[in-house]
Amino acid sequence: MNYMEWLSSKTATAWWTDTADLNDIKAALANGAVGVTTNPVLAAQALSASPAKWREFVKEGLSPAEKAEALMQGIVKEIAELILPVHIKSEGKQGYVCGQVNPEKQYDTKHMIEMAIRYSKWAQNIAVKIPGTLAGMRVIEECVANGITVASTANFTVSQALAVGESCKKGGERAKKTGQSAGKCFVAVMIGRLDDYLREAAVDNGLFVEEADITKAGLAVIKRAYGIFNERKYEAILLPAAMRGSYHVTELAGSKMILSVPPKIEKAVLDANSSQEEKFSRPVDKDALGRLQKFPEFVKAYEPTGLRPEDFINYGLAQRTLTQFIYGGWSRMENFK
């Protein structure tokens, strides 16, 4: 049994594969993956890899935004069908594929809700991906209240994760009052992107931060969010994402989370032949954490009140990531020929 098979069968930790490539998805499912995360960039990469396959979804008369959505639909529906057996076997607990709404509308509650409703009708195992902005929080609550499963994205901080958890809770309470089955809620926290951002911000600010400390930053954030989620009994499930090394998998083994693992990190874990042990209960090194807490950008990410909800969209890393989703993904789909 390899490490990824062990992770999904012998611990409380499940994992999804982070790709839109069908061959990679099939390989991951064979190693125990139980879901698929996608985003506009990954979808655009899938289009570029096999353009002829997806041209049938481009109809005459579609606006650029409609074209991008049609292509997202084609990709996501095919993945949804591929992993449907996992969804059925798990009785709806797993086997989801994420479909992300137009990142250009990260601020538009009404538009995102309308998209989420359309996406949710594509297949029974769709998790509609919503950005971790203030507008996104309103969308998440509305979706969960109306039985639509969501996956919040572009979260990098404890404060964002908690806001998503609270929005999901409110949505669930509303669903209960109306007799509606609440939608499930997954909370992607992009721990590797946070590490990247802190590394660059430290250099830009003339601060010396050890690389060994930087690689603990995202882990510290997700562990703190996890502890508070348990204290508050949130039903939303944390989904650490944007992993940068095998340690992001091995250090979280044993948690009741879902890990979003790109194929190259899955390969790194398998190549490393890491010992099959649960490490999540080990706290982040206190000395490293103390040094990181002298870094203001880390404090914004680590403290539960580090960012106000109205500032989520302004956080430098959020703007960078959403911009990449737009220009590296959605715009490419709009211009697909």
Q: Please name which of 173, 92, 105, 93 lies closest in space to residue 133, comparing C-alpha atoms.
A: 105
Going by CATH, does the domain composed of 3-334 fall within 3.20.20.70?
A: yes
Which position has the token pair 């994205």? Answer: 153
pLDDT of residue 207: 85
- Tell me the sheet residues that pair with 130: 152
CB of 250 closer than 8 Å to CB of 219: no
| Token digits of residue 121 | 């009708």
pLDDT of residue 27: 97
Cα 230 from Cα 270, distance rounded (Å)? 30
Ranges of beta strands (E only) in 179-330 are 185-190, 237-241, 258-261
pLDDT of residue 70: 97
- Ramachandran sector of residue 281 (left: φ over 0; alpha: ψ -120 to 50; beta: rest): alpha
CB of 272 closer than 8 Å to CB of 264: no
Tell me whether strands 150-155 and 96-100 are parallel, antiparallel or unpaired.
Answer: unpaired
Which position has the token pair 């509308």? Answer: 105
Question: What DSSP element (H or E) covers 117?
Answer: helix 109-120
The pLDDT profile of the chain, 337 residues, written as one tens digit per residue, is 999 999 989 999 999 999 999 999 999 999 999 999 999 999 999 999 999 999 988 989 999 999 999 999 999 999 999 999 999 999 999 999 999 999 999 999 999 999 999 999 999 999 999 999 999 999 999 999 999 999 999 999 999 999 999 999 999 999 999 999 999 999 999 999 999 999 999 999 888 889 999 999 999 999 999 999 999 999 999 999 999 999 999 999 999 999 999 999 999 999 998 899 999 999 999 999 999 999 999 999 999 999 999 999 999 999 999 999 999 999 999 999 8
Q: Residue 90: CA atoms inside 13 Å, Cβ hemisphere, count?
A: 16
Task: Please count the other Cβ atoms lying within 10 Å of the Cβ belonging to residue 50.
Answer: 11
Cα 159 from Cα 59, distance rounded (Å)? 42
**How many residues make up the chain in this entry?**
337
CB of 64 closer than 8 Å to CB of 45: no
pLDDT of residue 205: 87
| Token digits of residue 263 | 């194929």
